[in-house]
Amino acid sequence: MAKEYRTIRNDVALPYQWALGKTWAKFFDGLKEEKILGTKCAQCGKVFVPARTFCPECFKDMAEWVEVKPEGKIITWTLVKAKYYGQVKEPPYIVATIQLAGTDCGFHHFIGGVDLGDFKKMKRKLKRGAKVKAVWSLEKKADIYDIAQFVPVK
């Protein structure tokens, strides 16, 4: 019976060349210089990071660029232990949604600087609202990993 139910492996590999556009190109150039840049809507005054071309609420072009402090507070986080194909980091590692100071949205990145072996301690340190700050990569490529991770502020 088992012989009749065969499976075959088939991997699909495809190449891409994504256009960033002016706004995202400028955002990544900012990271290269260890600056986190957001954009602000003229109508509602909200600030978004990563920078957007237009305000999602008002549908209008963003009016100005704002340099945002590379620190903020944790909105939520999770410890990743599962493996999946094409993962960027080797588990275990922590991903979090962070609200940077002066912005009106969450922002995803890694959290480090905590003992990944002690879950209880982790939970204590990474409470909702806990303060974190960015740690920069030594080598910059103008991509999201120019920020290496965020770590808790004492």
Partner 1 sequence: MTKEEHRIVKGQIMVPYELALGRTWSNFYDYLKEEKIMGKKCRKCERVLVPPRSFCPRCFEDMDEWVEVSQEGVVETWVYVNMPFFAQEIKIPFISAQIRLDGSDTGFIHQIAGIDLSDFDRVRETVKLGGRVKAVWSKEKKGNILDIAYFEPVK
Partner 2 sequence: MGKAVAIIGTGQTKHGRRSDVCYPDLVREAVSAALEDAGITLKDVDGVVLGTMPSMMEGVSSTHFYFAEAMGAFRKPVMKVETCGSTGQSIGHCGFYWVASGMADVVLVVGSEKMSEGDGQATMTTVFDPFFQRTFAAGAPGVFTMQSMEWMYRFKIPEEKGREAAAMISVSNHDNAMDNPYAHIRMRVTMDEVKNARIITYPVRLFDVCPASDGACAVIFASKEKTKKICKKPAWIKGLGFRGEEFFYGESDKAIWMSATEAAREAYRQAGIRNPLKELDVAEVYNPFTYQEMIFYECFGFCPRGEAPDYVLKGTFKKNGQLPCCPSGGTLCTNPIGATGLIRLAEAVLQVTGKAGARQVEGAKLALSHAMGGVDQFNAVTIVGSKL
Residue 7 or 117: the one with the smaller Cβ distance to partner 2 is 7
Closest CA to 27 of 53, 60, 56: 53
**Residue 132 CB, nearest distance to partner 1 (Å)?**
27
Which amino acid, residue 80? V
- Number of CB atoms found within 10 A of residue 37's CB: 19
Name beta bridge partners: 73.
Answer: 99, 131
**Residue span binding partner 2 (CB under 8 A) among the ranges 18-26, 62-70, 92-100, 124-132:** 18-26
Tokens of 29: 């150039």
Q: Could you identify the residue written with the tokens 């004492």?
A: 154
Q: Is 24 in the site for partner 2 (CB under 8 A)?
A: yes
Residue 1 or 8: the one with the smaller Cβ distance to partner 2 is 8
Q: Is 22 in the site for partner 2 (CB under 8 A)?
A: yes
Tokens of 143: 């991509």
Sign of CA dihedral 101, 102, 106, 108: negative
Binders of partner 2 in range 50-109 (CB under 8 A): 52-54, 56, 59
Q: Angle CA(110)–CA(114)–CA(120) in degrees, nearest 5?
A: 115
Q: Is 5 in the site for partner 2 (CB under 8 A)?
A: no
Sign of CA dihedral 136, 149, 25, 98: negative
Could you say which of partner 1, partner 2, none residue 52 binds, taking C-beta under 5 to 8 angstroms by partner kind?
A: partner 2
What is the C-alpha to C-alpha distance for residues 34 and 141, in angstroms, rounded to an integer?
A: 12
Residue 55 or 134: the one with the smaller Cβ distance to partner 2 is 55
Residue 88 or 129: the one with the smaller Cβ distance to partner 1 is 88
**Residue 101 CB, nearest distance to partner 1 (Å)?**
27
Could you say which of partner 1, partner 2, none residue 86 binds, taking C-beta under 5 to 8 angstroms by partner kind?
A: partner 1
Site residues for partner 2 per CB under 8 A? 8, 10, 12, 14-24, 52-54, 56, 59
